[in-house]
Amino acid sequence: MKVFRLSQAELDDMVQQWSTTRRVYRPATGRQQPAQADCAPGWERAGDGAPLTVAAGPSKASVKTFLFPQPETMQTYSLKSSDPDRALLKEAAKAADKQIVVGLRPCDARSVQLNNLPYRDDPYYQAGLVRTVMVGFTCKAMCSTCFCDQMGGSPMATEGLDIAVSQLDDSFVAEALTPAGEELTAGLDLTPAADSDLKALAALRKDCPQPDNARLDTLKGRDLNTLYKAPLWQGLGESCINCGACTFICPTCYCFDVQDEVVRGAGRRIRYWDSCMFPLYSLHTTGHNPRGLKMQRTRNRFMHKLKYFPDRFGPFSCVGCGRCVQDCPVNIDIREVISDLLTVE
C-alpha cells in the first residue's frame, strides 16, 4: 500500500490527469446541471478543471449506477426478416474500458461489497467491478441521518475502495489500497505521506465511531414470523405512497426487471432497476397479486433488508447512508423501523 499527501490543488491535478485518458465521474455539484449524455442522474464528468469538492455525507445518487447501470443492455438481436440471424439473441458488447468514480463515501463502497453477495455470479456486475476504480472520500464527520456505524460500517472505513482519500486539517492523505489504485497513482508526481500525516490519519481512525453491530444483530436472531406479523407494518403501509424513491436512491436495493425494446427492427433485451414498492412487481398474469396491498409491499422492502437478506447472506442489506431517511416523501425513517422492530413482542 502506498500513501501520499496531497493539497487540494494536487488532488485536483491528479483527477485532471486521470481524466485525460479515462472517464472520471464525480457526484454532480448542482441539480441545475443537466445530466450529461453518458452520466447517470446525480453524477457528472470530472476533468473540467473545477476543483473537486465533495459535500459531507453520501452523494445524492449512489454508486450502484456504475455497477448496475440503469439500464444494462444484456443482449441484442435483429428482427429484420432479411437477417439470417433474425431473432437470435447475442450477448451485447460489454464496455471494458476503465471508469473512475471519485468522491463516493465508505457507505457506498460497502454497498458494492454487500450487493456482490447475491451478484457474485452475475456476469454484468462482475464486469462492472473489474472496470470500475473507486476513489472514495472517508468521512471526518457524520451527518445527522448517517448511521453507517450501526450497520457494520464506519465513517473512516476503506473496505471496497481502491484509493481512500482522507481529509486532514489542511491537506489530504490518499491511500492506494489495491493494484488498481496503485496503478492510478503510478507515474504521478506525488509526495509520500510523512509520519506526522500517518499519525494524524491513525488518530482520526481511532477516534471515529467504530462498527457497532451488537444491538442490531439481536434482530437477526428474531423469529421471522414475529417480525412479519408485527403491528407496525399497518401504520407504515398507511403512510407509504408506494413510490420507488427509496429503492432507487438506495445503494443496496438491487432488484431488476427485464424488458425487450425494439426500434426499427433492432432489438435489445435490457435489465433496469425495479422496485418492490410497485404493485406490478409481483402481479401474476392471472390478476392475482401476492403482495397486492401497500402494506405488504412496504413490509417486503424492510423485511428484505433487515431479515431475508441477513438470513441468507449474513449482513443487513443496508449501509446506513441515510439517503432514504432524507428523501422519503412521507418520512418513513428506517432507523425508526429498526427501533420499532427491536421492541416487537
Partner 1 sequence: MISYLPYPVRIDDITVETEDGNLKTFKLVFENEAQQKAWKHVPGQFAMLSLAGQGEIPIGIASSPTEQGHLLFTVNRAGKVTTALHQMHPGARMGVRGPLGNGFPIDTEMKGKNIVIIAGGFAVTTLRATLIYLMEHRRDYGKITFIYGARTPGMLLYQKELQEWAKRDDVELHITVDREAPGWNGLVGFVPTIAGQVAPSPENSVALICGPPIMIKFTMPPLEKIGWTDDQVYLSLENRMKCGEGLCCHCNVGPTLVCKDGPVFTRSQVRQLPLEY
Partner 2 sequence: MPAIKAARSAGGRGHGPLLPPCVLHDNFFYRTRTDYMPTINEKLTEEIRAQARTLLADGTVAAVIGFARGSLPMTVKPVVVRAAADCGRLVWNSFCVLNLANYLPEVLKSVEPPRGPRDPKPAGPLPKVAVLATGCWSRNIVVQTQEHQVDRERVVVMGVASRGMVSRRKVESHFSGREILAVEELDHDLLVTGADFADKINRWSVVRDNCQTCIHPDPVLVDVRIGEPASARKNPNPFKQVDDLEAQTSAERWAWFTSEFSTCIRCYACRNACPLCYCPTCFVDDARPQWVGKSLDPVDTGLFHLLRAYHCAGRCTDCGACESVCPMGINMRMLTKKLNKDVLNLYGMEAGMQPGSPLPLTTYATTDPQKFIVTEAKAVKEDE
Residues that bind partner 1 (CB under 8 A): 74-75, 77, 79, 86-91, 118-119, 121-123, 126, 224-225, 228, 254-260, 262, 267, 269, 271, 274, 276, 281-286, 290-291, 296, 300, 303-304, 307-308, 311-312
Cβ-in-10-Å burial (0-12, 13-18, 19+) of 107 comes to: buried
Q: How far is the CB of 166 from partner 2 (least distance, A)?
A: 12
- Closer residue to partner 2, CB minimum distance, 72 or 180: 72
CB nearer to partner 1: give 31 or 120. Answer: 120
Query: CB under 5 to 8 A by kind: which of partner 1, partner 2, none does 256 bind?
Result: partner 1
93, 91, 163, 165: which is closest to 132 by C-alpha? 163
Answer with the entry of partner 1, partner 2, none that 75 interacts with (C-beta below 5 to 8 A by kind).
partner 1
Count CB atoms within 10 A of the CB of residue 45: 15
| Structural element, H or E, at residue 188 | none
Beta strands across the sheet bearing 23-27: 43-45, 23-27, 99-104, 132-137, 163-167, 172-176, 2-6, 191-192
What is the CB-side half-sphere exposure of residue 114 using CA atoms within 13 A? 27
C-alpha cell at 165: 482519500
Give the whole-angstrom CA distance, residue 3 versus residue 264.
53
Q: Which residue from 185, 275, 298, 317 is in contact with partner 2, where contact means CB under 8 A?
A: 275
Of the candidate residues 80, 120, 199, 215, the single one contacting partner 2 (CB under 8 A): 215
- 45 is a contact residue toward partner 2 (CB under 8 A): no
Among 83, 183, 238, 311, binds partner 2 (CB under 8 A): 238
For 232-300, give the DSSP string. Answer: HHHHHHHH----SHHHHH-TT---EEEEEEEETTEEEEEEEE--TTSGGGG--TTS--TT-SHHHHHHH
Among 222, 213, 164, residue whose Cα is nearest residue 315: 213
Q: Which of 92, 131, 257, 269 binds partner 2 (CB under 8 A)?
A: 257
Q: Which is nearer to partner 1, 17 or 289 (CB)?
A: 289
Pick the closer one to partner 1 by CB: 111 or 158: 111
178 binds partner 2 (CB under 8 A): no
Report in angstroms how near the CB of residue 97 gets to partner 2 at its nearest: 21
In whole angstroms, how far apart are CA 66 and each of 26, 102, 180, 187? 12, 12, 16, 26
Between 180 and 281, CB nearer to partner 2: 281
Site string for partner 2, 309-338 (x = CB under 8 A): ----------------xxx-xxxxx-xx-x
Pick 10 or 180: Cβ nearer partner 2: 10
Q: Which residues contact 339 (CB under 8 A, 6 or more apart)?
A: none
Pairing of strands 23-27, 99-104: parallel
- Catalog residues that contact partner 2 under the rule CB under 8 A: 8, 29, 31-32, 34-35, 40-42, 51-57, 60, 70-71, 140-147, 149-150, 167, 169, 207-210, 212, 215-216, 235, 238-239, 241-245, 247-249, 257, 259, 261, 270, 272, 275, 278, 280, 294, 325-327, 329-333, 335-336, 338-339
